[in-house]
Amino acid sequence: MKIEAIPGAPQDGDLEFVLATEKEFEEIVSMSHGIYGGLDYLPSRYHSWINEKDRMVVLAKKEGDVIGLLSMFVVDDGETALLEGLRVAPWERGRGVAGVLQRFCCQMVKHRYPSVRVVRLTRDDKLTPKELNKYRVIAKQGILLVRFNAPEFSSRLSSIPLPAGPSRPSPPILLSPEEVHAVFLERGGLLKDLLPHKTVIQDWQPFQALPGNHDLLHRKSLRWMADDNVRPRVASLCTPPFPVPAGPLCFYLNIDVFGSGLRGAQEQLLSHLAAHVPGLPADVKCQLFLPPTMWRPMADFCTSVLGFQLEKGYTEQYLLEADI
Ligand SMILES: CC(C)(COP(=O)(O)OP(=O)(O)OC[C@H]1O[C@@H](n2cnc3c(N)ncnc32)[C@H](O)[C@@H]1OP(=O)(O)O)[C@@H](O)C(=O)NCCC(=O)NCCS
């Protein structure tokens, strides 16, 4: 469906903006080859995204062909628009299409959702000075990417020793929906001072720690853990694995860690792996987003204790914000 002209939105003679439908799926997949280091989530999310409440998936078309995609998702009680899935066809890159698409989508979201005050996005690449003028960097997490073979790891899982140390932390607790609310999302929630910018970053999606985000997060079937449900020091959430284009068959497993307490985090990692890995038939790329100081010891644990292969060195995920 062609999007009606929006007052004040940028015009570009060559480009037409439309809302994405099922019929563009193959075209989008073929122009996305090789992006995000093979961890592109869009092929798995596209069909639900185009029908999701408060989300718009906008395509830029040139002479009838799709050359760009950007999704805007309104969250945080209508205050924030998340900018996600951005991509431009390889043959159209470097000509400013991404900027035009973003400006168009920002105007559109402002027009349809007047309550939106800010846009937020996450990135792992370096920002140009111009971009640093445009966005505030409001939080960052370290990125730890490891790879392993699921059947091989599952066969060793029961013999992996628990993290060693003078006194073991209490076993990790799997949180009920009510506990998730209390630990992560209530205003003044138990974990709020440990979250980066009071934000729950689930994979690449940042959600302010607000009760209004509870139902949305609940629908994602996440696995939430903490070392304590009264005075948590470290908590984590794990997204169910899904296939990504990284290999003939490769799954992506994402775990987000907040707070401090390395051994608590290691125990929670082991619990998430034990819950999700057995039954997976192939290689897994597991990406942890974690406090930067936890990166090195967690990388050592993953390689020397769990026998995982480190896919790349330390990188960072930036949470960016701009007023609209
Ligand atoms: C990153 C990508 C979308 C840039 O598209 P492009 O049209 O070639 O970008 P250009 O350099 O011509 O346009 C520059 C504009 O895009 C913006 N931009 C570039 N990369 C961006 C990114 N990763 N996230 C958000 N905006 C980005 C710039 O801020 C600039 O905006 P401005 O016009 O307001 O100054 C494109 O290279 C691509 O599809 N890469 C593969 C997928 C990917 O890495 N997506 C980013 C996910 S965070």
Distance 220 CA to ligand 1 centre (A): 28
Where are the chain's structural domains? 15-116, 139-323
Ligand 1 atom closest to residue 123's alpha carbon, by position in its atom list: 48
Phi-psi sector, 165: left (phi>0), alpha (psi -120 to 50), beta: left
> Residues lining ligand 1, CB < 6 A?
35, 86-88, 93-99, 123, 125, 130-131
Distance 60 CA to ligand 1 centre (A): 14
Distance 72 CA to ligand 1 centre (A): 15
Domain 15-116: CATH superfamily, name plus number: Gcn5-related N-acetyltransferase (GNAT) (3.40.630.30)
Of 31, 83, 87, the one to substitute when testing ligand 1's pocket (max ligand atoms within 8 A of C-beta) is: 87
- Distance separating alpha carbons of residues 73 and 94, to the nearest angstrom: 25
- Distance separating alpha carbons of residues 122 and 125, to the nearest angstrom: 10
Contact indicator for 263, 295 with CB cutoff of 8 Å: no
Contact indicator for 244, 39 with CB cutoff of 8 Å: yes
| Element spanning 213, H or E | none
Residue 280 pairs in a beta bridge with none
pLDDT in tens, the chain (324 residues): 666 655 545 556 789 999 999 999 999 999 999 899 899 999 999 999 999 999 999 999 999 999 999 999 999 999 999 999 999 999 999 999 999 999 999 999 999 999 999 999 999 998 899 999 999 999 999 999 999 999 999 999 999 987 766 566 578 999 999 999 888 888 666 787 889 999 999 999 999 999 999 999 999 999 999 999 888 999 999 999 999 998 889 999 999 999 999 999 999 999 999 999 999 999 999 999 999 999 999 999 999 999 999 999 999 999 999 999
- DSSP label at 195? S
User: What is residue 113's predicted lDDT score, i.e. its pLDDT?
Assistant: 97
User: What is residue 125's predicted lDDT score, i.e. its pLDDT?
Assistant: 92
| Pairing of the two strands 65-75 and 55-62 | antiparallel
User: What is residue 163's predicted lDDT score, i.e. its pLDDT?
Assistant: 72
The alpha carbons of the chain give a radius of gyration, in whole angstroms, of: 20
User: What is residue 4's predicted lDDT score, i.e. its pLDDT?
Assistant: 61
Name the phi and psi angles at 314, rounded to 5. -65, 125
Identical fold between 15-116 and 139-323: yes
Ligand 1 atom closest to residue 88's alpha carbon, by position in its atom list: 39
Ligand 1 atom closest to residue 87's alpha carbon, by position in its atom list: 39
- Distance separating alpha carbons of residues 60 and 72, to the nearest angstrom: 14
Choose the CATH number for 139-323 among 2.40.50, 3.30.420, 3.40.1350, 3.40.630: 3.40.630
What 215-218 contacts at long range (C-beta under 8 Å, 24+ apart), as own/partner pairs, is: 216/75, 217/180, 217/185, 218/177, 218/180
- DSSP label at 266? H
Distance 98 CA to ligand 1 centre (A): 5
